[in-house]
A and B are shown apart, each in its own frame.
Chain A
Amino acid sequence: MSIHSSDVAEIANRAYQYGFVTELETDIVPRGLSEDVITLISTKKQEPEWLLEWRLRAYRHWCTLREPRWQNVTYEPIDYQDIIYYAAPKQKTSIASLDEVDPEVLAMFDKLGISLAEQERLSGVAVDAIVDSVSVATTFKERLADVGVIFCSFSEAVREHPELVRKYLGSVVPFRDNFFATLNSAVFTDGSFCYIPKGVHCPMELSTYFRINAADTGQFERTLIVAEDGASVSYLEGCTAPMRDENQLHAAVVELVALDNAQIKYSTVQNWYPGDAAGKGGIYNFVTKRGKCAGINSKISWTQVETGSAITWKYPGVVLQGDNSVGEFYSVAVSANHQQADTGTKMIHIGKNTRSTIVSKAISTGHGQNTYRGLVKILRSAEGARNHTQCDSLLIGTECGAHTFPYVEVKNSSAEVEHEASTSKVNEDQLFYCRQRGISEEEATSMIVNGFCREVFKELPMEFAIEAQRLLNVSLEGSVG
């Protein structure tokens, strides 16, 4: 690498375009975590008694847990009493239309390239916009309601559809699941809720856009998507945060439930602030995402492009309970500068003839460390289950690393499990070939890396695929020198 460190810093800082802070009047609760804080959050949100009780049970359980240390990432201990667990831009408690949203909030989303007003008029994607702890706007609600689709903030769902929330909350990720999911269960503040009734194909892409704005806060949102018999939905999730020297914790939970013949496609383009070139600051993205193929012939597909965060640590998985159900996981994870990623999936085969596909593409550059960790578990009941796993790592430069930890547990001898893995470097011959055709080294690298990721990008909805490619290029800026 012939680039000076000051140039690298400049590139890294220029590269993250979403690092601004918006001055919003914010309502926050006192720093730290206690039953009082949880009760205060629950009261602020006017929640029913059962939900407060659920939160407190989670909190009491969390107090007995120790933070896990088995992951292949390192970070300074987190002081959970130094985090602000609730921060909300002040606005009217309920808004009828976008006109009533704080203009500063709309301007912030404009600056992020997500114009809520534009989205509503032009692109036909319904957006739930979440700033810090609360949802500030959900677009297209009426049009979706016409076909019976419920798409709203989690808080609103608790108020308007308590029976659905109560039925499915914690049904895929129970509050005892793991340290961070338990913490989330105690303190989660908002998120998106989506319910697709029987036989309905959701007429548009649904998306949630997460934005951390306030300092010293954690973001603990919860997303719950339920697709009834024969329903289908494609869901997108995007995220950004300001550049700050302190690390911020993002511990979300996403639960998906697919009933008989239902399909859920969940796509994430994660671009939380990754920290600067020296590794200072950035988001800790410790998230629990899981889908349950509860019904026969159901299908859940996760596609993730992880370019941001100082640390990404998550395993979006699928529990394949219904016979003939299908789980898919497509992932691109980039670790540049000092980023660390330990990510992969869990495919739990319970039903007969269940199938799962895993395609993981890990790219490491700079001092980045990238780990694929995946579990394929075939239970005794899963007669005829099949899994195919493909895990490829690409290294750019000499200081980075790629690691693969596949776990396979098979209890049924009729199962077929395949695992393919490869690790390669950006090839000198490929680079020379491109450069001989007039393509600059940087553009050639980006082209080769994008080609490496194509199997995953093609799973993304078009607009997201373009965004993903752009982010990948930004992440790789300065990797060649």
Chain B
Amino acid sequence: MLEIEDLHASVGDTEILRGLDLTVNPGEVHAIMGPNGSGKSTLAHVLAGRGNFDVTGQVHYDGHDLLVMSPEERAIAGVFLAFQHPIEIPGVGSLYFLRTALNSIRRGHSLDEVGPVEFLKLIEDKMALVEMDQSFMSRSVNEGFSGGEVKRNEILQMAVLEPSLAILDETDSGLDIDALRVVASGVNALRNEKRAMLVITHHQRLLDYIVPDRVHVLAAGRIVRVGGKELAISLEEHGYVDLGETARPDQPATIGTAT
């Protein structure tokens, strides 16, 4: 369903992705791991359509040429990004925001819009999934949310919008163990045979809760190793240093700084 071929992305003169290949099938969960600066978040943003990169290569998704589509067209096609740092939108109610998003996507599929009352029913179960408090509904989007709440809100949005490809960008960052458990169980509940997930993380810890089908190691803009869950565990023990050396022998210094 997602086929990435020779993907390059740069900002100005700095090339961040340097020929990335990746294939993800429906129902699969792929973890993308790698040191800081290896291009993990760039990959997430390029797939979601963030405008500030120069991009070349091919990304086919569900019969679409993803790279020519606007961010909203990609969202309608089923691409969802759980942001690492979700932004606050003061004065815009969370409930209203989420209903607007759902209806925008439904309009894109020529489906009827969901009214406010119907939406309240719909969201109730989804909120239970991530243990979200009722007070959430009246609060502005991400405004004054705790670190755990913003991440739970991302998963709640995913549960409501039901994407076919979910990209989770460092969803575990800034979470304590309890919040991590809640978020991970929400994500696991959303796993099914049609939905693909790309779980981007720096730490193996998240993968104890969200068990991936494949683990890819990204270093200096390329995938340098692919394996199963055990690859993540070996990375936890040995770090990224060896991988970096083989991937970019010309630039060892930038790779070695990773933990």
Contact = CB atoms under 8 A, between A and B. Distances in A.
Determine if chain A interacts with chain B. yes
Nearest to A441: B72
B71 interface: yes
B140 A435 contact: no
B72 A451 contact: no
Nearest to A437: B101
Nearest to A454: B91
B48 interface: yes
B180 to A, nearest CB: 23
A429 interface: yes
B89 A440 contact: no
Given A447-B100, A450-B92, A451-B92, A439 B72 contact: yes
A71 B71 CA distance: 43
Interface in B200-226: none
Interface stretch (B80-88, B187-195, B233-241): B80-88
Interface residues of A, number: 22
B104 A437 contact: yes
Contacts of A433: 83, 86-87, 89
A435 B91 contact: no
A342 B177 CA distance: 53
Contacts of B140: 451
Q: Which of A434, A437, A438, A448 has the most CB of B within 10 A?
A: A438
Given A432-B71, A433-B83, A451-B140, A438 B105 contact: yes
A423 interface: no
A438 B161 contact: yes
Contacts of B53: none
A455 interface: yes
Contacts of B97: 434, 437, 447
B171 to A, nearest CB: 15
A436 interface: yes
Nearest to B86: A433
Contacts of A447: 89, 92, 97, 100
A280 to B, nearest CB: 34
A440 to B, nearest CB: 6
A451 B89 contact: yes
A435 to B, nearest CB: 4
B76 A438 contact: yes
A435 B87 contact: no
A427 interface: yes
Given A436-B74, A436-B75, A451-B89, 7 more contacts: A432-B71, A435-B49, A439-B72, A440-B104, A450-B91, A450-B92, A451-B140
Interface of B: 48-51, 70-72, 74-76, 80-81, 83, 86-87, 89-92, 97-98, 100-102, 104-105, 108, 140, 157, 161
11 contacts: A432-B71, A433-B87, A434-B89, A436-B81, A437-B105, A438-B75, A439-B104, A443-B104, A450-B92, A451-B91, A454-B90
